[in-house]
Structure 1
Amino acid sequence: MPDVPCPYTTFLMATAWCVDLEEPIYGSGVSFKNSVMEAHMGSTEGDNNDGITVIDITDPTNPSYCFVSIFGLEAGGAVKDRVPLTAEQYCRAYYPVPKDSEKDQEGVKETEEDVQKKIDALRDERLMKLDVLVEAWPREYKSSVPTEPAEDATTDTPGVASNPVPSLADLSLKPAIEHGLETGETEGLEDLVWHPGKADLMWPILRNQKPFPDSGMSLLTKVVQHEVGSDKSLDLSGFSLSDSQLASLLTFAGVEEVELLNLSHNSIFTADGLRQILPSTPKLRRLVLLGTSISDEQIYELLKEEPKLFLSVEELTHPAFISWQDGACYPNGFAYVGVHSGQNACSASLAVFTPATVVQALTDLLGPIADLNDYEAYGLFGTSLVPQAAFATGVRGEGQPWRERHVHCFPAVSDMPFDGRGWLFCATWASMFDRSGTRYGFVKVVDAQANPPKVKIYDLKAWLEEMAAEGRPPASGDAVKKLESIFADLGSRKEGKLWTEEDLLPFMQKFVAVSRRRY
């Protein structure tokens, strides 16, 4: 088993566990790389004296949890070892219900209320069964009860039909489509597309044609025109369309307004196909490429040699950007580069971005700072996982909270952010361990070969003007105003200032020095 067999799921779990950029603001741990333990290790092999928490997300819509005492809890509470414990059992081992004679002591009432609040928060959550622990770690856990066979998830509830019985007309649609594709006579079928429900029935039949015949392109074009709705998304995953077929489809279906395009699980789609379709989809913001023939190396080459192809794309979901890697293998598009608390280096790098991506990420990340004291700020910025979580978040709708975010990648660490590729947001934050001041700004390294490197520093307004000159789509005016307000608060309450070149060059040198001891 690899150390991290499911890196994307692991990143979701790590950020959900360690980062919260809504009230109450929270950050813990270190970098993503150093926060994760190997999947093949035993549950009792870590440095531990307070037991463990186990969360089962085999079915993410129906998780379960438990606490486990593995060597006896440090509190010495009366709980059994290596069996699932509820939140109440675990908490009460450390904080037993106070006796009547203790209730009037200072702080006892407040502590009990806090403990009870924690217990109540998990009261309705599903407790994990012992057989789950036995299955995950058979050498460490033993079940005294024979394991019952798992229920068949596909078994229908008695008396409830999982699918309605199709009509005779629907049953005849599949052979009619296949005959039309074979003969090239699809005009009659094209007339059916606009009948209620027919396009939905045609979709899976057409998707199962592998490879897709040219004779079916006219019919597929009509179905696609029907399927693209007000959400401006088009899911072509599973279709075996060649590069030329796909380019033709997008052109003749008139879907230049599409913002989300899913081309996953198409083994014949190539990097050349991207070169054909990206110029014809100027409104495209989210592109999903899972399970295609396009390799990581081909994506890297496109980003390096033809970056203008991706100017409008803010999310590029491909295995290259959700794989387990420490340093970024892809060329930097935009990176957050920080030295926190005088000793922690962070550089979360995005391969593609738009101003909306960056404005939202910086708003999420910097918004809490003005209200935090030095101790709280140190907790938030003591880990590079916080900037990674902020920049991994897709652009949310107006009013949509952080907890409802979607995650399209996990930004790898850029070991050489000052090599001249892409844009940077460089920042250092004053804390109880570093009184040198708060400095920030958008940075472009214009000559990486010079000694010292030549840089240009931009404030938010100037950077947005550069983005417009590059041809990138703008961020919303309200989003920009919100970030402007955050920068103003940082200036008035934290003495935050835009970098000067005199200050920035020592920062760059310090980053290189401390990034060698990554946390």
Structure 2
Amino acid sequence: MLILNADMGSSDGDNNDGITILDVTVPRNPAYCFVFLNAEDVLPAMTPLTAAQYLRSYYPAPKRPLNVDEMTQMSSEWDCLEVIANLDDMPLIPIATLAKLVTYSTEIDAFRRQSVLSADDMTRLTAVLKGATHPNAVVDLSRLPLTANQILSVLEELRDFKRLDVSYSQAVDNRVFLHILRTYKSLMWINILHCPISMDDLKELMTNDPQRFRSIETILHPAFLTGKLPADFPKAFRITYITNDWPRYNYVTLPFFSADQLVQNIFDILANLHSSYRMPSLATVASSHLAQGQSWYDRAIQIVPGRNLDDDPSTRSYDLLPYAHQKEGYQLVVQANCRGKPYGILAPMAPEQSEHTDSDIIGMDSFLKRLEDEGYPATDAAAVKGLLELCANMELTTMEQVLNIKRYLH
């Protein structure tokens, strides 16, 4: 298998200047087109082509209808018809959209080839980025020769964005990163790969300012892509599953979360308590929030949660006792081993409380109210309503039940 460079030009390599473009801006309604970068016979260059137009430039349609025997002998024609039919119901990317894409890519690439950007360059860059914005667009500042002040200046102009890519930017250190999190509350996704931010930097930020990591779903950084964060790394949310299997206590941890994401994923966990032996899938625990109308299959999973199944067997703890004194974050406990499968949210202890004091167990309504009081409310009203209705029919566990599971095993 030949693996090509992801940054290679569209017409480089073994390619006759024909490319495929997919628009997955709205995952449930993708669009496509084929494009020749240079004119090909009677087909124009840089024009969106349908599957039939593109394919027939390589495999011309038969000059007359073929009978069954002839079609059987010409297997390539069967293949052509099948490919064309598969794309019949997918819309073609309009030429206006294609023109914007080409203009945007050309101008951004030109900026990336410069060593510094002048004031005039910054004005033009901001205008280009504004022209490409829509609710789910990624503000792409990756690989641009920007200073920290220039980055913050551009973001100040754009304001309401949800996704930001500053990868490969040496100007984005832990100070700039924290400023971005503090300033842009609508930010849900940020790429800081290859920025000068270490795991120790993240640990310090999340220890000293944990509230800033209660409204974001994705931070693309190597630390969050392995599921093996150090034991002393801050934990924003923990899900503990008490099962009939060994070890009795299984858990996964999230270093950050958004309230809407958590509401959705807790609902999926509690609504599907079918087994007393198995943890919920990591896809359920860590998936992104879905907008109304999106299906489960549209979810993005861009973090690997920590879990005790990855612990060293020689050091693995099978006792929940250390986590009954919740010092940081919140913890959802699900007693899948008990009749009715009760649940509870363990709240973090106040700083002045003794470490020998058990955490309070609160219900879902109290938990969501606390998130709201902390400044990070869940905004998906329909999802909140569904979760509260589900929990209203579930038993709230007690600390006695949690710490004495043998008595309650069935």
Same fold, judged at TM 0.5 (above) = yes
Asked if the contact 2:223/2:229 (under 8 Å) is kept, the reply is no
- Determine helix, strand or coil for the equivalent of 1:446: coil
Asked if the contact 2:328/2:349 (under 8 Å) is kept, the reply is no
Query: Is the counterpart of residue 217 in structure 1 residue 122 in structure 2?
Result: yes
Counterpart position of 2:107:
202
Of 126, 149, 156, 1:244 maps to 149
Counterpart position of 2:197:
294
Counterpart position of 1:346:
250
Distance in 1 (CA, whole Å) between partners of 2:36 and 2:231 is 46
Distance in 2 (CA, whole Å) between partners of 1:271 and 1:407 is 24
Asked if the contact 2:236/2:257 (under 8 Å) is kept, the reply is yes
Asked if the contact 1:209/1:240 (under 8 Å) is kept, the reply is yes
Note the alpha carbon deviations across 1:51-70, whole angstroms, 9 max, x for none.
xxxxx9x89xxxxxxxxxxx
Query: Is the counterpart of residue 480 in structure 1 residue 374 in structure 2?
Result: no
Cα deviation for residue 479 of structure 1 reads 0.8
Distance change >3 Å, CA 450–CA 439, structure 1 → 2:
farther
Note the alpha carbon deviations across 1:399-453, whole angstroms, 9 max, x for none.
42333321110111277644511111111113xxxx5662211111315873643
Asked if the contact 2:259/2:377 (under 8 Å) is kept, the reply is yes
Of 220, 223, 229, 2:134 maps to 229
Distance change >3 Å, CA 365–CA 164, structure 1 → 2:
farther
Distance change >3 Å, CA 158–CA 266, structure 1 → 2:
closer
- Determine helix, strand or coil for the equivalent of 1:338: strand
Distance in 1 (CA, whole Å) between partners of 2:287 and 2:356 is 34
**Which stretch of the first structure deviates more once superposed, 293-302 or 472-481?**
472-481
Distance in 2 (CA, whole Å) between partners of 1:241 and 1:407 is 30
For the aligned residues, what is the CA RMSD?
3.2
Counterpart position of 2:364:
460
Distance in 2 (CA, whole Å) between partners of 1:307 and 1:325 is 19
Cα deviation for residue 207 of structure 1 reads 2.5
Distance in 1 (CA, whole Å) between partners of 2:243 and 2:386 is 24
Distance in 2 (CA, whole Å) between partners of 1:287 and 1:462 is 30
Distance in 2 (CA, whole Å) between partners of 1:248 and 1:438 is 51
Asked if the contact 1:232/1:257 (under 8 Å) is kept, the reply is no
Distance in 2 (CA, whole Å) between partners of 1:199 and 1:234 is 12
Note the alpha carbon deviations across 1:457-505, whole angstroms, 9 max, x for none.
22111111101111114241111122234334xx4xxxx4102343344
Distance change >3 Å, CA 158–CA 361, structure 1 → 2:
closer
Counterpart position of 1:405:
299
Relative to the length of structure 1, the TM-score reads: 0.54
Relative to the length of structure 2, the TM-score reads: 0.67
Report matched runs for 1:90-101 at 5 Å.
none
Distance in 2 (CA, whole Å) between partners of 1:319 and 1:232 is 23
Cα deviation for residue 210 of structure 1 reads 3.5
Distance in 2 (CA, whole Å) between partners of 1:502 and 1:391 is 26
- Determine helix, strand or coil for the equivalent of 2:349: strand
Distance in 2 (CA, whole Å) between partners of 1:229 and 1:445 is 38
Q: Which amino acid aligns with 2:304?
A: F
Distance in 2 (CA, whole Å) between partners of 1:305 and 1:482 is 34
Distance in 1 (CA, whole Å) between partners of 2:236 and 2:18 is 55
Distance in 1 (CA, whole Å) between partners of 2:18 and 2:217 is 47
Counterpart position of 2:48:
none
- Determine helix, strand or coil for the equivalent of 2:289: coil
Of 270, 282, 287, 1:393 maps to 287
Of 298, 311, 330, 2:214 maps to 311
Distance in 2 (CA, whole Å) between partners of 1:482 and 1:327 is 35
- Determine helix, strand or coil for the equivalent of 1:337: strand
Query: Is the counterpart of residue 502 in structure 1 residue 400 in structure 2?
Result: yes
Distance in 2 (CA, whole Å) between partners of 1:224 and 1:297 is 32
Report matched runs for 1:59-458 at 5 Å.
154-157=13-16, 162-164=36-38, 198-213=103-118, 216-251=121-156, 253=157, 255-323=158-226, 325=228, 328=231, 330-341=233-244, 343-344=246-247, 345-369=249-273, 372=274, 377-378=275-276, 381-382=277-278, 384=279, 386-413=280-307, 417=323, 418-430=325-337, 435=338, 438-446=341-349, 450=354, 452-458=356-362
Asked if the contact 2:330/2:347 (under 8 Å) is kept, the reply is yes
- Determine helix, strand or coil for the equivalent of 1:349: strand
Note the alpha carbon deviations across 1:333-360, whole angstroms, 9 max, x for none.
0111121126332221111112211111
Asked if the contact 1:328/1:413 (under 8 Å) is kept, the reply is no
Note the alpha carbon deviations across 1:365-384, whole angstroms, 9 max, x for none.
22222xx4xxxx14xx42x4
Distance change >3 Å, CA 507–CA 220, structure 1 → 2:
farther
Counterpart position of 1:5:
none
Asked if the contact 1:286/1:315 (under 8 Å) is kept, the reply is yes
> Which structure exhibits the higher relative contact order, with contacts defined as CA atoms closer than 8 Å and separated by 6 or more residues?
1
Cα deviation for residue 270 of structure 1 reads 0.8
Asked if the contact 1:326/1:412 (under 8 Å) is kept, the reply is yes
Q: Which amino acid aligns with 1:319?
A: P
Distance change >3 Å, CA 456–CA 267, structure 1 → 2:
same
Cα deviation for residue 387 of structure 1 reads 4.4
Count of residues in Structure 1 that have an aligned counterpart in Structure 2: 310
Q: Which ranges in structure 1 are unaligned for 5 or more consecutive residues?
A: 1-55, 60-151, 166-194, 511-519
Distance in 1 (CA, whole Å) between partners of 2:229 and 2:130 is 42
Distance in 1 (CA, whole Å) between partners of 2:384 and 2:244 is 28
Cα deviation for residue 202 of structure 1 reads 1.1
**Which stretch of the first structure deviates more once superposed, 290-299 or 239-248?**
239-248
Distance in 2 (CA, whole Å) between partners of 1:313 and 1:484 is 22
Asked if the contact 2:251/2:307 (under 8 Å) is kept, the reply is yes
Distance in 1 (CA, whole Å) between partners of 2:37 and 2:16 is 12
Distance in 2 (CA, whole Å) between partners of 1:153 and 1:304 is 47
Asked if the contact 1:424/1:444 (under 8 Å) is kept, the reply is yes
Distance in 1 (CA, whole Å) between partners of 2:258 and 2:110 is 37
Q: Which amino acid aligns with 2:298?
A: E
Amino-acid identity (%):
22
Q: Which amino acid aligns with 1:300?
A: K
- Determine helix, strand or coil for the equivalent of 1:479: helix
Cα deviation for residue 326 of structure 1 reads 6.7
Asked if the contact 1:447/1:454 (under 8 Å) is kept, the reply is no
Q: Which amino acid aligns with 2:254?
A: L
